[in-house]
Structure 1
Amino acid sequence: MSDEQQIRLRDGEARELARSSFEHPIVLEAGAGTGKTATLVARVLTWCLGPGWARAAEDLTISRGGDADARIFADEVAVRVADRIAAITFTERAAAEMKERIARGFAAVLRGEGIVGLELERFEEPLEILTVRAKHLLAVLDHFFVGTIHAFCRRLLAQYALPAGVHPGFVVDADEGMSNSLIEDVLADRLQEVYGDPGDENLLALAAMGWGPAEIVEALGELIRGGVPAEALAHDPYAPELVKQAASELAAPLEAFIGLAAGPLAEGKGNLNAARSVLEALGTLATRLANVSEAGELRDLALEVDVKRLREWGEGKLNKTESKALAGIEDEVQAAAAPLAARIRHLQSLDPDLLPRACVALRELLGNVQARLRAEGIETFAALLRDTRDLLAGDEVLRGHVRQRFDQLLVDEFQDTDPVQYEIIEYLALDGPSFERPGLFLIGDPKQSIYGWRGADLGAYARFIARVKDEGGEIHSLQVNFRSVPAILSEV
């Protein structure tokens, strides 16, 4: 069997498991063009038409003492099946497309047709039963939750507003207009007190550094958008243990990149002086990291690195001599350089004079803004996530109740998840007794994260995958790309 045939065989097995295996959590790593959305849709349809329908019918039969009108019963089974599925993705556009494809899938089954990734012959049930079920499921499409993580959290908080401690009539500040207005109001109320005589020592010091009211408003907005609680500003952001932690977290990706690129660049021919200078600076940084405990020292070391060139490598921008020296490992260099450049660029921006004063000065203002937001029932996107996480974390009984409301939890584009979102999914699908947990299906491509600016953390991704494995989960991958393999395209 050729390598290509083996790849296609493993790919087919992964697709079948993703479609029809519901006993354990499944993570499907898949890039663009591999048919990942089609696979997710096929899984939803398989569950709804097969084991999900059977489970819902059994539960309803038990609740009715074994007696139910068949026609009404089918309607109620369909509602129960749909109500107990949540499919989460990270853009509203993707959610709308997914729901449309699920609807088209049920419509195809109603006509007696399969869809990509779903052959009706694979079902145990005869076609006439599948078409009846598809008809009822089509009629209750509005009961399926297919949406963003923020929409999911909004729905959950609305249902559990009291235990969550949120305003029962809360509104979501989607365009940030309400929170920005509140920030300006809070600062205006304090303006004379803060900048008058004697004034606030730290804010006056910030003003001397060029941080006036406009910059304070911008900083408060960033903190609100990031979901940073006011109490987090009570700690020294550059405490020695935190600086050591930052240095430690940089060590592994730094050494990995050096190990990957240093040899080929050292042995390469042609003018590679600029590239070698970058590697030399990275090497110096690597050897001195273990002894760093002050933010200023860490910043100065990072500033020795030409992060602009490193970022260009992360974007795949190699010159001819670099491409020749790195032939065969260009993709690996690009994948390693991008996150490393981002980390080093962050360290270069450390400001030991500004940030500690800013934390002290902003803490009270941020607390006032957050108190006003909560009192007026305004939820930012960050607050939706944080309040949902806190709701689930704070009450084990409630957490179990929420878990048992779902049979299947599906998450698309999982690599674009931030640590708070990981916690929410973990509480729902990997915590508590196994009989309470919904089935978990995740699709992600750690090489394709597009939301680093939103807090997506590939280290957190790896840790979450490890937790899935610990809970008996399976990791599979789709390797056949239908957009770029002509031999495959000709057969599809």
Structure 2
Amino acid sequence: MGTIHSFAQRLLAAYPIQAGMPPLVEVLDEVASSVAFDERWSVAQRRLLDEESLAAPLGLLLGAGRKLDDLRSLARAFGSDWDLIAERVLGETAPSAMPALDVAPIVRQTQLLIDRRADCQDSADKLVAKLGEVEGTLTLLRRATSDVERFRLLGVLGGLKAGNVGRAPNWPDIAGVRGACADLASEASALVSRVVDAAVRPVARWIAAWVLESAEGRIASGRLEFHDLLVGARELLRRDPDVREELQGQYQRLLIDEFQDTDPIQLELAVRIAGGREAIAEDWRDIEVPPGSLFLVGDPKQSIYRFRRASIETYLEAQQHLGTTVSLSRSFRTTPPVLDWINGVFGNVIVEEERKQPRFAALAPDRPDVATGPAVTLLGANEHADARSVPRRCGGPRPTTSPA
């Protein structure tokens, strides 16, 4: 009995050579893993900044206000799911070269907005002054000699806010001018977003490749982090039928508890061990599991979705593919009046949705009905007539409802 990570470590320690690792495997704790990541990222960051092919997209990202710490966070995120990188990031078509930053449409739209100053009857109007600021930005945009500089100025236009600036009597159509300001800001922001999206793709692809390279290096050296344990154990079971057969004989009954929060890798490990030598299918759903060899215990209503890649879809698929479902519906904890309230309320609140929400299962009581009084009482529902009569707690503001 143990956690999935300790079980995966046990497998790798028993079959290190088959897993492509040295005989002695070291598992880094969270602190050591964090230190090791920082050391690797320090080297990778210098390589990234020296990469000539990424000079343009990196310059645009930094010009858009992104920071190197943002790229570090991206590397961290990739590292948490590095086994998906080859398929979901590097498996996609490589992004094409950065497109030229065409600001001509924005320049024309900005000039048309500035020309509307002539409609104002008062040169001291604050909206006229606002359009003067826009004209200064447009002048700089026309003089800009690099995409990075143009990109920064687009960001300025994207932040344009006219709001209620200006006096309506001074303009024949002040709403139209303010609307034109909003349209310009929207178009400039949209262009910034498109450019950022195009710029981040080659940078993200480079970082993803580096993360995958680092992970494969850890596997080869035997200095593993927690996620490496799961991926290493899964790859071991995917490629070695002798190991699967031996483990099937050793672990004839497998039980996964708290299955609603199970990483899909954990499920695949169990299915391949239960399936033994014949568990060769690429997809775990196509593996035949001998009856009585695998038990899953969980409650989807308690799921912390996205916790370690857990998903309701994985839960429901396992329920569909792996044998019979047995419901544990008798409650030993509480009394019939409380259960009647729970069944009545949550029977209406929890509505079954395909691939999203399982149906509600009513709970049956085991304890006798010996309770008195209401099953459920809401405290603090009514406001006090005199809030000053309620004492303060910890120096905070006076509450207006019951302290309970």
Per-residue CA deviation, residues 151-210 of structure 1 (Å, 9 max, x unaligned), is 1111111101110112332222331x3333333323322444432584733444433344
Query: Paired residue for 1:441, among 272, 295, 313?
Result: 295
Q: Is 1:179 the equivalent of 2:57?
A: no
What residue in structure 1 maps to residue 244 of structure 2? 399
Q: Per the alignment, in what secondary structure is the counterpart of residue 223 of structure 1? A: helix
Residue 113 of structure 1 corresponds to none
1:227-246 alignment to 2 at 5 Å?
Answer: 227-228=82-83, 230-232=85-87, 233-236=89-92
Who is 2:74 aligned against? 219
Report SS of the residue matched to 1:147: coil
1:189 and 2:43 are equivalent in the alignment: yes
The answer to whether the 8 Å contact 2:54/2:203 transfers is no
- Please give the per-residue CA displacement for 1:402-447, whole angstroms capped at 9, x wherever unaligned: 1111122111111111221221111122455689887222211122
- Are 2:258 and 2:298, in contact at CA under 8 Å, matched by a contact in 1? yes
Q: Could you say what secondary structure the match of 2:250 adopts?
A: coil
1:213–1:369: structure 2 CA closer, same or farther, 3 Å change rule? farther
Residue in structure 1 matched with residue 6 of structure 2 by the alignment: 151
Relative to structure 1, is the Cα distance of residues 354 and 414 closer, same or farther in structure 2, using a 3 angstrom cutoff? farther
Where 1:477 maps in the other structure, the secondary structure is coil
Using a 3 Å threshold, how does the CA distance of structure 1 residues 208 and 450 change in structure 2: closer, same or farther?
same
Question: What is the CA distance between 1:449 and its match in structure 2?
Answer: 0.8
After superposition, the Cα gap between the structure-2 partners of 1:491 and 1:160, relative to the gap in structure 1 and judged at 3 Å, is: farther
Write out aligned runs for 1:335-350 (5 A). Answer: none
How far does residue 224 in structure 1 lie from its aligned partner after superposition? 1.5
> Quick one: distance in 2 between partners of 1:438 and 1:371?
36
User: Is residue 452 from structure 1 mapped to residue 306 from structure 2 by the alignment?
Assistant: yes
TM-score calculated relative to the size of structure 1: 0.42
Specify the code of the residue in structure 1 equivalent to 2:312.
Answer: L
Identity of aligned residues (%): 27
Following superposition, the deviation at residue 391 of structure 1 comes to: 0.7
Counterpart-to-counterpart distance in 1, 2:50 and 2:238:
43
Cα offsets for 1:80-116 (capped at 9, x unmatched): xxxxxxxxxxxxxxxxxxxxxxxxxxxxxxxxxxxxx
Answer with 1 or 2: which has the greater Rg: 2
CA 1:488–1:395 in 2, change beyond 3 Å: closer, same or farther? same
Distance 1:398 1:192, change over 3 A: closer
Q: Is 2:366 the partner of 1:488? A: yes
Find the counterpart in structure 2 of residue 382 from structure 1. 227
Corresponding position of 1:479 = 329
Structure 1 residues 178 and 203 mapped into 2: Cα distance closer, same or farther (>3 Å)? farther
- Pair 1:467 & 2:321 matched: yes
Distance 2:213 2:298 in 1: 38
Alpha-carbon distance, 1:465 to partner:
1.8
Distance 1:436 1:162 in 2: 28
1:168/1:217 CA distance change after superposition, 3 Å:
farther
Residues 216 and 373 of structure 1, relative CA distance in 2, 3 Å threshold:
farther
Q: How many residues align?
A: 231
Code of the aligned partner of 1:227: W
- Report deviation, 1:375: 4.4
CA distance in 2 between counterparts of 1:435 and 1:229 reads: 25
Q: Residues 197 and 428 from structure 1, CA distance in 2 versus in 1: closer, same or farther, beyond 3 angstroms? A: closer
Structure 1, unpaired ranges of 5+: 1-145, 240-350
Alignment of 1:2-401 (within 5 A): 146-175=1-30, 177-196=31-50, 198=52, 200-201=54-55, 202-228=57-83, 230-232=85-87, 233-236=89-92, 352-353=197-198, 355-401=200-246
Q: Distance in 2 between matches of 1:435 and 1:221?
A: 36
Structure 1 residues 190 and 477: alpha-carbon distance in aligned structure 2, compared to 1, 3 A threshold: closer
Q: 1:209 to 1:379 in 2, by over 3 A?
A: farther
CA distance in 2: counterparts of 1:446 and 1:238, whole angstroms: 38
The answer to whether the Cα contact below 8 Å between 1:403 and 1:429 also exists between their aligned partners in 2 is yes
SS of corresponding position for 2:254 = strand
> How large is the RMSD of aligned CA atoms in angstroms?
3.2
Q: Distance in 2 between matches of 1:393 and 1:491?
A: 53
Verify the 8 A CA contact 2:257 2:297 in the aligned structure 1: yes
Could you list the per-position Cα deviations for residues 207-236 of structure 1 after superposition, in whole angstroms to 9, with x for gaps in the alignment? 334443322222212222223355343133
CA contact (8 A) 1:388 1:424 kept: yes
Partner AA of 1:400 in structure 2 = E
> Is residue 186–residue 365 contact of structure 1 (8 Å, CA) maintained in 2?
no
Preserved CA contact (<8 Å) 1:183 1:220:
no
2:111 maps to: none
